[in-house]
Structure 1
C-alpha cells in the first residue's frame, strides 16, 4: 500500500493496492470487491497533519505524521505525537500492544571527513491512551506513565525502527470505598464514597421491599475522572415507613453504559407502635386499610399492576385515632397488584391478589 506525497486537503494523498502480475482476472475481481467492501482496510484520517489507516485482518493501525510540530491525534490508542514520524500500533487480543516507529525524514547527513552517510538521531514522543506495563523495550525508549496516559520517547536514527511491547493494565473504572445508610428524621440518609473514578458517568439508586425486586429511585451524576476521595449522598423520604427492612442497591454506570460496580445494603427500621394492615388478601371485591393515626391528615390510595401502571386511585381523609378505610376493587381484573397508602407521614405498600 502506497501513498502520495501531497498530504493536503485540496489534493490529498491517494491509497492503492498494487496487484502482482499474472493474477487471474476472476481473482483480481474478487480482490477488488473485497477491498471495496471495507473488510480489509479503512482510512481513519486523511488531513494535512496526519494520515491513519487501519488494516483490519491484522488489527493494526498505521500513522504518518507530517507536521514538524506536536499534534493531537486522538485516534485509536494514540493521543499525540511530537513531530514527523511513521508509526504502527498493533493490538494482540485485548491486552498486548506492539508499537513500531520510524523517522521518515531520517535526518540523513554526509560526513565529509569519514566519507559515509550517517544520521542525526532525535527524539519522537508518542502519547498512548491507557495504563501499561512494559514487556519489551529493546531500544531503551523512555517511558512515563501519568494517570491514563503513557508517553514513550523513541530515539530514531539509522533508518531502523524502534519498537516497544506493552501490556494493558486492567483499570477498575471505580473503587467504591463505602455504601451505607441510616434512618434520620423520618428519612433514610444514604451515603457512599469512591477513592478513584475512571470515566464514570453516574450512580443509579434502587429501592426494594424484599431485596429481590428493585425499583429505580434516582440518578446522581459522578465526578467522572478523579483519584481523590469523593463523597455522595441522597435522602430517601418515600420508603415504606411500616416496613421492618428496606433494601437499597447502588450501581455505577460508565460512559459507555456498562456497569462497573454494584452493591446492596439493608436498612433495619424501628418497629412502629401503630401498625397498618391491608385485608383481606386475596381480595374478591374490596380491601380494608386499618391504621391508627396520630393526627388528622389527608392521603391517597393507589393501586398499580406489577408493570408499574396505575390502575386505581382514591383520595382519603384520615382522622386522629383508629381508621378503617374501605377500598372497592371489584373492577380490577384477576391478577397480582400493589396497593399504596401515602400521606405526609406514611408511605405503606402491600402486594395482593385480586380474585
Structure 2
C-alpha cells in the first residue's frame, strides 16, 4: 500500500493491525555491501523536472549517488517527493509519483538513472556487486496496480509464492539495447511496507556497474481519483523462504511479422527450459487488453536452443494494428510475459518503399514500421540531426515489422529517421518534443 492521502502508511498499518494480527519474520539481509539512500538534496536542474539530478551522499564509505530523472510517459506524471522519509525505511530510495486522476484504463511511468560516483566528485565509480530490492509492489485494492522495472540486472530473485507478474522489457539506454524485467503487483492492497512480505518483493543483482536504471509506474483498469504512490527500493540483498532465482524459460528472441497472406508469423527461440509446459500466444487490438490467440506446447526441459512458431490468421480480426506477446507457463503454472511486439496491416497496396513513423511529434518512444519485404533482414536505424550529423545508430539482425526507438535523450528539434536494408535506404522527418 503506497497511496498517500492524509493518512501515513504507518498509521494505516496500525489501523489494520487492530483488525488483523499476523505473525511473520522479516526477510534478513544477506550481505554487508548495503547502499544507503538518505539526506538527498537537489544537485542540478529544476526540482521534479526531467534531467533534474539529486545527490544522495555517502551511499557507502567511498561513494555518492546521483539520481537523475530521465523521463516520464506523459507530462501528467509528476514527482511528489524524491525520497519520502516519514514512512517505510530511511535507508531505502522512496520516490513518490502521481499521475493525477484517470478516467479509464491507462498506464504511466517515471524513469530514474542512478549513477554512482566517487565521494564529493563527478567521477564514475564502479560497484563489483550491488542489489536492488523492490518492496511492497501491490495495488490500491480496486483498479490500480503498481510496477517497478529494472534494466541491465544480471539476475533477479522472487519468492516461490510471489504475487508479482514478471514481464520482459527492453529499452535503448545510451544507444545500447538493454533488457530488463518489469515486476507488476496485483490489485490487492497490502498494509504498510514490510520486509516480511517477500511475496511482494523482487531482488535484482547487478555485477560491475556504475549505473542502475529503474522505472516506477502504474496501470489502471478503470477510473481512479488518486494515483499518488510511494515506491520503495532498498539497495541490499534479502533472504527468501523459498527463493525462485530463475524462471522456467529463457527467451532468446521473439519476432512478429506479416506475411503475404494476411497472416502474422510469430517465431521465438528459447535458450533453455526447465519444466516448461506451454506457451500462450496473446493478441490485442489496443495494446492494453489481450486475449488468447493460440497455444504451443513446449519441449519441457532443454539446455540448448529450441525454435517455435505460430501463424495467426488475421482475416477476421478487423484491425490495422495488432499487438502480440508470449506467456510462458511452467508445470507449476508460474508464468512470465515476453516483451510486446506489434504489426501493422497496410490498407493499400504499396508500390514504393516507405516508412511509417509514429507518434510524430514524439517525446519518448518512436515506432518505425518498415516495408513488408524488409522483415527478417539486417537493418540499420539512424537518427540524423537537421545538420546532417548522425546522432544515434542501432542495428537489428532480424527485424520485425515495427521496431521501437527510444529518442528521449535527443534534444528537441527536427530529425530524420533513416533505415537502410541491403543497399536500399528510406528516411522520414520527425519532430522531437
TM more than 0.5: no
Which of the pair has more CA radius of gyration?
1
Name the structure where strand makes up a greater proportion of residues.
1
Normalising by structure 1, we get a TM-score of 0.29
Normalising by structure 2, we get a TM-score of 0.24
